[in-house]
Amino acid sequence: MDKFVCVRLVQANAMDLSLFQFDFDLTFAVFFMNADKTIYGRFGSRSERKDATKDISMEGFRKALAAALDLHKKYPSNKASLSSKQNQPPRFKVPEEYPSLRGKYKSTLDYEGKVVQSCMHCHQVGEAERTFFRADRKPIPDEVVYPWPMPNVIGLAFDPQEKAKVSGVAQESAAEQAGVKIGDEILTLQWQPILSIADVQWVLHNASQPATLTAEVLRGKKKLKLTLSLANDWRRHSDISWRTSSWDLRRMATGGLV
Protein backbone atom coordinates (compact mmCIF):
# COMPACT_ATOMS: atom_id res chain seq x y z
CA MET A 1 0.00 0.00 0.00
CA ASP A 2 2.95 2.36 0.54
CA LYS A 3 3.44 2.42 -3.24
CA PHE A 4 -0.03 3.93 -3.74
CA VAL A 5 -1.49 7.33 -3.00
CA CYS A 6 -4.72 6.36 -1.21
CA VAL A 7 -7.84 8.50 -1.54
CA ARG A 8 -11.15 7.66 0.14
CA LEU A 9 -14.55 8.88 -1.05
CA VAL A 10 -17.36 8.46 1.50
CA GLN A 11 -20.38 9.88 -0.36
CA ALA A 12 -21.81 9.97 -3.87
CA ASN A 13 -22.37 13.73 -3.83
CA ALA A 14 -20.46 15.41 -6.69
CA MET A 15 -18.94 12.07 -7.73
CA ASP A 16 -17.51 12.26 -11.26
CA LEU A 17 -19.59 9.62 -13.08
CA SER A 18 -17.39 9.83 -16.17
CA LEU A 19 -14.54 8.49 -14.04
CA PHE A 20 -16.08 6.47 -11.22
CA GLN A 21 -18.20 3.81 -12.89
CA PHE A 22 -18.75 0.79 -10.64
CA ASP A 23 -21.45 -1.40 -9.13
CA PHE A 24 -23.49 1.17 -7.18
CA ASP A 25 -24.95 -1.52 -4.90
CA LEU A 26 -21.56 -2.11 -3.31
CA THR A 27 -20.50 -0.64 0.02
CA PHE A 28 -16.79 -1.01 -0.84
CA ALA A 29 -15.17 -0.52 -4.25
CA VAL A 30 -11.58 0.21 -5.26
CA PHE A 31 -10.11 1.86 -8.36
CA PHE A 32 -6.45 1.39 -9.31
CA MET A 33 -5.57 4.52 -11.27
CA ASN A 34 -2.72 6.42 -12.82
CA ALA A 35 -2.32 10.11 -11.92
CA ASP A 36 -3.62 10.98 -15.42
CA LYS A 37 -6.89 9.17 -14.51
CA THR A 38 -6.20 6.09 -16.62
CA ILE A 39 -7.83 3.13 -14.86
CA TYR A 40 -5.70 0.01 -14.42
CA GLY A 41 -8.50 -2.02 -12.85
CA ARG A 42 -11.19 -2.34 -10.20
CA PHE A 43 -11.72 -4.40 -7.06
CA GLY A 44 -14.90 -5.17 -5.12
CA SER A 45 -17.65 -7.71 -5.83
CA ARG A 46 -20.75 -8.98 -4.10
CA SER A 47 -23.44 -11.58 -4.76
CA GLU A 48 -25.18 -12.01 -1.38
CA ARG A 49 -26.82 -9.76 1.20
CA LYS A 50 -25.75 -11.62 4.36
CA ASP A 51 -22.25 -12.72 3.31
CA ALA A 52 -20.91 -9.49 1.84
CA THR A 53 -17.31 -10.72 1.70
CA LYS A 54 -18.01 -14.07 0.04
CA ASP A 55 -16.45 -13.02 -3.26
CA ILE A 56 -13.47 -11.00 -1.98
CA SER A 57 -10.55 -11.41 0.42
CA MET A 58 -7.53 -9.50 1.66
CA GLU A 59 -5.27 -11.95 -0.18
CA GLY A 60 -7.18 -11.37 -3.41
CA PHE A 61 -6.89 -7.62 -2.82
CA ARG A 62 -3.14 -7.94 -2.28
CA LYS A 63 -2.74 -9.77 -5.59
CA ALA A 64 -4.84 -7.18 -7.40
CA LEU A 65 -2.64 -4.43 -5.93
CA ALA A 66 0.49 -6.23 -7.15
CA ALA A 67 -1.03 -6.67 -10.61
CA ALA A 68 -1.88 -2.95 -10.75
CA LEU A 69 1.73 -2.10 -9.94
CA ASP A 70 2.90 -4.40 -12.76
CA LEU A 71 0.66 -2.51 -15.19
CA HIS A 72 1.97 0.80 -13.83
CA LYS A 73 5.58 -0.26 -14.49
CA LYS A 74 4.72 -0.83 -18.16
CA TYR A 75 2.76 2.41 -18.52
CA PRO A 76 2.33 4.22 -20.94
CA SER A 77 3.38 1.55 -23.46
CA ASN A 78 0.28 -0.48 -22.45
CA LYS A 79 -2.12 2.48 -22.46
CA ALA A 80 -4.05 1.21 -25.51
CA SER A 81 -5.00 -2.02 -23.68
CA LEU A 82 -6.49 0.07 -20.87
CA SER A 83 -8.67 2.34 -23.01
CA SER A 84 -11.79 0.19 -22.55
CA LYS A 85 -11.51 0.37 -18.76
CA GLN A 86 -13.62 3.51 -19.07
CA ASN A 87 -16.88 3.66 -20.99
CA GLN A 88 -18.55 6.36 -23.04
CA PRO A 89 -19.50 9.61 -21.22
CA PRO A 90 -22.38 9.02 -18.77
CA ARG A 91 -25.89 10.43 -19.10
CA PHE A 92 -25.15 12.92 -16.31
CA LYS A 93 -21.76 14.11 -15.09
CA VAL A 94 -22.63 13.97 -11.37
CA PRO A 95 -25.46 12.14 -9.51
CA GLU A 96 -27.27 15.29 -8.37
CA GLU A 97 -28.02 16.13 -12.03
CA TYR A 98 -30.42 13.18 -12.32
CA PRO A 99 -34.01 14.53 -12.43
CA SER A 100 -35.12 12.42 -9.45
CA LEU A 101 -32.19 13.69 -7.34
CA ARG A 102 -31.99 17.26 -8.59
CA GLY A 103 -32.72 19.78 -5.84
CA LYS A 104 -32.66 17.11 -3.11
CA TYR A 105 -28.88 16.95 -2.76
CA LYS A 106 -26.01 19.39 -3.05
CA SER A 107 -22.42 18.83 -4.08
CA THR A 108 -21.26 19.17 -0.46
CA LEU A 109 -22.49 17.68 2.81
CA ASP A 110 -24.28 19.77 5.41
CA TYR A 111 -21.82 19.36 8.28
CA GLU A 112 -23.44 22.24 10.16
CA GLY A 113 -26.91 20.69 10.04
CA LYS A 114 -28.40 17.40 8.86
CA VAL A 115 -25.23 15.74 7.65
CA VAL A 116 -26.74 12.23 7.34
CA GLN A 117 -29.73 13.42 5.32
CA SER A 118 -27.50 15.45 3.01
CA CYS A 119 -25.30 12.44 2.14
CA MET A 120 -26.20 10.64 -1.06
CA HIS A 121 -25.76 6.85 -1.04
CA CYS A 122 -24.23 5.10 -4.02
CA HIS A 123 -27.26 2.86 -4.57
CA GLN A 124 -29.34 5.98 -5.19
CA VAL A 125 -27.41 6.53 -8.42
CA GLY A 126 -28.60 3.20 -9.80
CA GLU A 127 -32.13 3.91 -8.65
CA ALA A 128 -32.03 7.31 -10.36
CA GLU A 129 -30.92 5.68 -13.60
CA ARG A 130 -33.93 3.35 -13.62
CA THR A 131 -36.29 6.13 -12.59
CA PHE A 132 -35.01 8.18 -15.54
CA PHE A 133 -36.39 5.60 -17.98
CA ARG A 134 -39.58 4.96 -16.03
CA ALA A 135 -40.42 8.67 -15.77
CA ASP A 136 -39.99 8.93 -19.53
CA ARG A 137 -42.35 5.93 -19.96
CA LYS A 138 -39.66 3.89 -21.67
CA PRO A 139 -38.66 0.26 -21.03
CA ILE A 140 -35.79 -0.05 -18.57
CA PRO A 141 -32.85 -1.62 -20.47
CA ASP A 142 -31.60 -5.00 -19.30
CA GLU A 143 -28.17 -3.57 -18.54
CA VAL A 144 -29.83 -1.18 -16.07
CA VAL A 145 -32.06 -3.82 -14.44
CA TYR A 146 -29.28 -6.44 -14.33
CA PRO A 147 -26.10 -4.39 -13.79
CA TRP A 148 -22.62 -5.73 -13.15
CA PRO A 149 -23.41 -9.43 -13.73
CA MET A 150 -21.44 -11.88 -11.62
CA PRO A 151 -19.35 -14.36 -13.65
CA ASN A 152 -21.70 -17.22 -12.72
CA VAL A 153 -24.16 -15.97 -15.36
CA ILE A 154 -21.74 -17.30 -17.98
CA GLY A 155 -20.83 -20.37 -15.90
CA LEU A 156 -17.68 -19.15 -14.13
CA ALA A 157 -16.72 -19.23 -10.45
CA PHE A 158 -13.53 -17.60 -9.17
CA ASP A 159 -11.31 -18.23 -6.17
CA PRO A 160 -11.64 -15.09 -3.97
CA GLN A 161 -8.11 -15.71 -2.66
CA GLU A 162 -6.68 -15.27 -6.15
CA LYS A 163 -6.62 -12.53 -8.77
CA ALA A 164 -8.84 -14.14 -11.40
CA LYS A 165 -8.36 -17.92 -11.14
CA VAL A 166 -11.25 -20.16 -12.16
CA SER A 167 -12.49 -22.40 -9.35
CA GLY A 168 -15.58 -23.78 -11.10
CA VAL A 169 -17.17 -24.15 -14.53
CA ALA A 170 -20.90 -24.87 -14.80
CA GLN A 171 -22.02 -27.67 -17.10
CA GLU A 172 -23.49 -26.64 -20.45
CA SER A 173 -22.57 -23.00 -19.77
CA ALA A 174 -20.97 -20.50 -22.13
CA ALA A 175 -17.70 -20.93 -20.22
CA GLU A 176 -17.73 -24.72 -20.61
CA GLN A 177 -18.57 -24.49 -24.29
CA ALA A 178 -15.66 -22.06 -24.74
CA GLY A 179 -13.29 -24.61 -23.19
CA VAL A 180 -12.53 -22.85 -19.90
CA LYS A 181 -11.07 -25.25 -17.30
CA ILE A 182 -10.82 -25.15 -13.51
CA GLY A 183 -7.41 -23.71 -12.62
CA ASP A 184 -7.26 -21.36 -15.62
CA GLU A 185 -6.19 -17.81 -14.82
CA ILE A 186 -8.00 -15.17 -16.85
CA LEU A 187 -5.30 -12.81 -18.13
CA THR A 188 -7.44 -10.66 -20.42
CA LEU A 189 -11.12 -10.44 -21.37
CA GLN A 190 -12.05 -8.45 -24.46
CA TRP A 191 -8.33 -7.57 -24.60
CA GLN A 192 -8.50 -5.82 -21.21
CA PRO A 193 -6.05 -6.87 -18.45
CA ILE A 194 -7.96 -8.59 -15.64
CA LEU A 195 -6.93 -7.80 -12.04
CA SER A 196 -9.96 -9.13 -10.19
CA ILE A 197 -13.53 -10.44 -10.44
CA ALA A 198 -14.68 -6.81 -10.63
CA ASP A 199 -12.77 -6.42 -13.90
CA VAL A 200 -14.62 -9.43 -15.31
CA GLN A 201 -17.89 -7.83 -14.19
CA TRP A 202 -16.93 -4.57 -15.91
CA VAL A 203 -16.56 -6.40 -19.23
CA LEU A 204 -19.85 -8.24 -18.72
CA HIS A 205 -21.62 -5.03 -17.67
CA ASN A 206 -20.69 -3.43 -20.99
CA ALA A 207 -21.26 -6.51 -23.17
CA SER A 208 -24.09 -6.64 -25.67
CA GLN A 209 -26.92 -9.18 -26.02
CA PRO A 210 -25.96 -11.52 -27.64
CA ALA A 211 -22.20 -11.16 -27.27
CA THR A 212 -18.96 -12.79 -28.30
CA LEU A 213 -16.11 -12.29 -25.84
CA THR A 214 -12.44 -13.10 -26.38
CA ALA A 215 -10.46 -14.35 -23.39
CA GLU A 216 -6.78 -15.07 -22.93
CA VAL A 217 -6.13 -17.63 -20.19
CA LEU A 218 -3.03 -19.07 -18.57
CA ARG A 219 -3.27 -22.84 -18.23
CA GLY A 220 -0.17 -24.13 -16.50
CA LYS A 221 2.57 -22.34 -18.42
CA LYS A 222 0.62 -22.08 -21.67
CA LYS A 223 -1.42 -19.10 -22.85
CA LEU A 224 -4.62 -19.89 -24.74
CA LYS A 225 -7.20 -17.76 -26.54
CA LEU A 226 -10.83 -18.77 -26.00
CA THR A 227 -14.11 -17.42 -27.35
CA LEU A 228 -17.23 -17.17 -25.19
CA SER A 229 -20.55 -16.92 -27.01
CA LEU A 230 -23.36 -15.39 -24.93
CA ALA A 231 -27.02 -15.88 -25.85
CA ASN A 232 -29.68 -13.17 -26.21
CA ASP A 233 -30.93 -13.53 -22.64
CA TRP A 234 -27.62 -14.26 -20.91
CA ARG A 235 -27.84 -11.18 -18.66
CA ARG A 236 -31.28 -12.14 -17.30
CA HIS A 237 -29.81 -15.10 -15.42
CA SER A 238 -28.38 -12.64 -12.87
CA ASP A 239 -29.65 -12.80 -9.28
CA ILE A 240 -30.52 -9.22 -8.30
CA SER A 241 -32.55 -10.06 -5.17
CA TRP A 242 -29.66 -9.17 -2.83
CA ARG A 243 -29.30 -5.66 -4.24
CA THR A 244 -30.48 -2.70 -2.19
CA SER A 245 -31.66 -1.13 -5.43
CA SER A 246 -34.07 -4.04 -5.96
CA TRP A 247 -36.27 -2.51 -3.23
CA ASP A 248 -37.00 0.36 -5.58
CA LEU A 249 -37.97 -2.10 -8.32
CA ARG A 250 -40.46 -3.74 -5.98
CA ARG A 251 -42.03 -0.38 -5.26
CA MET A 252 -42.59 0.14 -8.97
CA ALA A 253 -45.29 -2.54 -9.01
CA THR A 254 -48.58 -2.46 -7.06
CA GLY A 255 -48.28 -4.76 -4.06
CA GLY A 256 -44.55 -5.23 -4.58
CA LEU A 257 -42.53 -7.06 -7.23
CA VAL A 258 -40.50 -10.16 -6.38
- Assign residue 194 the CATH number of its domain: 2.30.42.10
- Tell whether 202 is covered by a domain: yes
Domain range spanning residue 55?
A: 22-86+148-243
Is there a single domain that holds both residue 116 and residue 137? yes
Is there a single domain that holds both residue 65 and residue 176? yes
148 closest CA partner among 243, 255, 35, 52: 243
Sign of CA dihedral 60, 65, 66, 70: positive
- Tell whether 173 is covered by a domain: yes
Q: Beta strand pairing status for 222-230 and 211-219?
A: antiparallel
Is there a single domain that holds both residue 75 and residue 130? no
- Tell whether 11 is covered by a domain: no
Is there a single domain that holds both residue 118 and residue 155? no
User: How many whole angstroms separate alpha carbon 22 and alpha carbon 231?
Assistant: 24
Is there a single domain that holds both residue 167 and residue 82? yes
- Tell whether 194 is covered by a domain: yes
- pLDDT tens for each residue of the chain, 258 residues long: 899 999 999 999 999 999 999 999 998 999 999 999 999 999 999 999 999 999 999 999 999 999 999 999 999 999 999 999 998 899 999 999 999 999 999 999 999 999 999 999 999 999 999 999 989 989 999 999 999 999 999 999 999 999 999 999 999 999 999 999 999 999 999 999 999 999 999 999 999 999 999 999 999 999 999 999 999 999 999 999 999 888 877 777 655 555
Is there a single domain that holds both residue 226 and residue 171? yes
- Tell whether 2 is covered by a domain: no
Structure confidence at residue 253 (pLDDT)? 66
Is there a single domain that holds both residue 73 and residue 121? no
Is there a single domain that holds both residue 130 and residue 199? no
Structure confidence at residue 184 (pLDDT)? 98
Is there a single domain that holds both residue 115 and residue 232? no
Residues 6+ apart with CB under 8 A from 204: 148, 149, 151, 153, 154, 235
- Tell whether 6 is covered by a domain: no
Structure confidence at residue 255 (pLDDT)? 57
Is there a single domain that holds both residue 78 and residue 157? yes
177, 196 contact by CB (below 8 A): no
- Tell whether 170 is covered by a domain: yes
- Tell whether 4 is covered by a domain: no
Is there a single domain that holds both residue 70 and residue 32? yes
Is there a single domain that holds both residue 138 and residue 184? no
Tally of domains in the chain: 2
